[in-house]
Chain A
């Protein structure tokens, strides 16, 4: 539905009532951050939403539709949060362009709905003065009026309507209150002319930027007449801030929260992971029992279930990570954490706001890179993007878990700390510390400039709403599941075919293990592995690991599924679990020398390799787009891939060679 289709008549105001009812309508929803804009969008459109990107950008274009009472189709566009219409970040620039109809393929809206926070209406009304200048019909949605009421704030809506000359609708979007009125007002507003506000005539009391001062002066005058606040008092949000932002207590609270997050991810998700693991094992066993021995059984058991199952097992852990990130964002703590981290991050050349994408990076590099859009300065943003993939994402977790289970003994240090847990912690720290060091290097060499000063709004604390939180966790986790069901499934099937053909006839008297080894060695995949082996020999790897590494260049988590396929896990083993694969790896031997091929030192080197290597085509693609697109984007993405590969190879080589020199095997 675009203007080009001729469905939106410029002379809407003069159209007949029947034509008005049937005429489709485009509405743009805009507002400051933390005003409940997206909640209102959800309430207006329900589940009839779709997400795409604005053409030529990676800024999400979220649109939804609903049928108006008269039958007209209304399309609502949820624009990114804006402080003003003078954009200072890529997100804001897109929102402003969309309002002005300056984006090719995105029609200019017929009506703009500005969402204003009833608790603090000044900044929202400032935005209203700017939106009014665009010359489009407008509706003001005064959201969170229940919270304002609880805070003792009384708002004279008729006075606001009188001064603004537009409809003002009080709403509580979280409860759906006022949403029907918003719908009706949007339809009526489309037939009205744009408001003319009188801020130009306001006598600004100060020098400096007359425009901003006049607008705010006018807004203050309006608020003084229409909003009645009780005497200022300390809210519970202020009391919490006194602790959370305290010079000594604040960092301790931060460390405590981070400890709970990581404890939750690695401990609390375990029972669910065990459950999924058991389901995968049962599926493998059922297929093995139900189908006769042959290519079909091998494809399903060895290819699909062994490949996809070993990755799907980690879904609970990933969901747990997204749950914590959602909790920190929705509660309002994330902005405080960014502020606390600013002083430290600045020392390595990153802005405090980079903390938010970095924390998201523990879940997935792609949304983390997209989250850098809130960083205003280009060089700050590029430095953050370039190091984000060094943060250990959830796709590395299956690899770490497999390698640790295969190589690190399940013992305790001092009877308290699990060695395996400490190894995992060490890998996460390794990636994070490397990210800080590399960021400092980038700022000293390629991206030389002072870090832009920190400025962020600290939203009032909220108790996160379970439904919205769970929806966000589902939305993010389903992306991972979709990936397992598409990319990893396809990879698993292709790998199975490459590992199974051409068929090798085992000699009489060969054990199943020897027959499997020979089949693999002479398959197409085996030949590729043998060809690649010289490149990874200095790291202590054999041809099987060469295949697994090569196969994981597109998506690192396929390393585990490749290893499962290569080791024919489901062929003669009903228990397709990471533990079974680890046992198989521990027992693997070099066919020529008979020596152990998967030693603890090799595993440690591999862990370092995967901690540093960028093996994710999605991350490469999103870096290309977010680093500016075109040649510049390709150059930055190529540099990122190459430096991380060099770091990975160098790190793994150093670990292996130093280990050998020290007498380890």
Chain B
């Protein structure tokens, strides 16, 4: 079985993240990359995952965003702190 993103040390998909993280990659269509960047989700952006039950709810740049699961799966992040 080929390694998945979640096997990379320190990097996981946004759907697998439960903490604060830094976005390291966007693997979706150019149009969706454009939408994400306009919302403030770009490589290097800090996000705080709030809920991952139905898709992902996250806070970034002071704004709360809701992402569908398929879009959240396309975002790779590096968690940088586990909140208590």
Give the interface of A toward B (CB within 8 A).
Answer: 83-84, 86, 88, 119-123, 126, 204-209, 212-213, 216-217, 238, 241-242, 245-247, 250, 335-336, 339-340, 342-343, 346, 352, 376-377, 452-460
Known interface pairs A120-B62, A123-B61, A342-B55; 10 further A-B residue pairs with C-beta atoms within 8 A, sorted by A's residue number: A83-B38, A84-B38, A86-B34, A122-B63, A206-B44, A216-B40, A335-B66, A343-B54, A376-B35, A455-B67
Interface of B is mostly: mixed
Interface bracket on B: 35 or more
Q: A453-B28, A453-B71 are in contact. Are A458 and B65 (CB under 8 A)?
A: yes
A455 CA to B66 CA in the complex, in Å? 6
| A377 cross-chain contacts in B, Cβ below 8 A | 31
Residues of B within 8 A of A (CB): 25-26, 28, 31-40, 42-45, 50-51, 53-55, 57, 61-71, 74
Q: How far is the CA of A121 from the CA of B39 in the complex (A)?
A: 13
Task: Identify which of B37, B66, B68, B74 contacts A458 (C-beta below 8 A).
Answer: B66
CA gap between A460 and B65 in the complex, in Å: 11
Are A245 and B44 in contact, CB atoms less than 8 angstroms apart? no
Chain A residue contacts of B65, Cβ below 8 A: 455-458
Complex formed: what's the CA distance from A204 to B50 in Å? 27
Give me 20 A-to-B residue pairs in the complex whose CB atoms sit less than 8 angstroms apart, sorted by A's number: A120-B61, A120-B62, A121-B62, A205-B44, A209-B33, A209-B37, A241-B51, A245-B53, A245-B57, A250-B54, A336-B66, A343-B68, A343-B69, A453-B32, A453-B68, A453-B74, A454-B55, A454-B68, A455-B32, A457-B64
Closest chain-B Cβ to A149's Cβ sits at a distance in Å of 15
CB distance from A236 to the nearest CB of B (A): 13
A204 to B54, CA, bound (A): 33
Residue of chain A at shortest CB distance from B42: A212
Contact B55 A88 (CB under 8 A): no
Q: In the bound complex, how far is the Cα of B10 from the Cα of A346, in angstroms?
A: 32
Q: Which residues of B contact A204 (CB under 8 A)?
A: 44
Task: Tell me which residues across on chain A come within 8 A of B45, comparing CB atoms.
Answer: 216
Whether A455 contacts B53 by the Cβ 8 Å rule is no
Q: How far is the CA of A207 from the CA of B25 in the complex (A)?
A: 9
Contact of A455 among B25, B35, B44, B50 (CB under 8 A): B35
- Once the chains are docked, how many angstroms separate the CA of A453 from the CA of B43? 19
Given known A83-B39, A88-B34, A250-B54, contact A216–B64 (CB-CB < 8 A): no
Query: Judging by beta carbons under 8 Å apart, are B38 and A339 in contact?
Result: no
Q: Which of A209, A453, A458 contacts B70 (CB 8 A)?
A: A453
Report B-chain residues with C-beta under 8 Å of the C-beta of A205: 44
Return the chain B residue nearest A206 by Cβ.
B44
Q: Which of B36, B64, B74 has the most CB of A within 10 A?
A: B64
> Which B residues are in CB contact (< 8 Å) with A336?
66
Decide: A458 and B57 in contact? CB cutoff 8 A: yes
Q: Which 5 A-B pairs have the closest CB atoms?
A: A120-B62, A454-B68, A206-B44, A208-B43, A453-B71
A457, B40: Cα distance in complex, Å: 11
Query: Which A residues lie within 8 Å of B43 (CB)?
Result: 206-209, 213
Chain A nearest CB from B84 CB (Å) reads: 13
Residues of A within 8 Å of B74, CB to CB, are 453
Across-interface contacts of B61 in A (CB, < 8 A): 120, 122-123, 126, 216
Residues of A within 8 A of B25 (CB): 208
Instruction: Tell me if A241 and B57 are in contact (CB < 8 A).
Output: yes
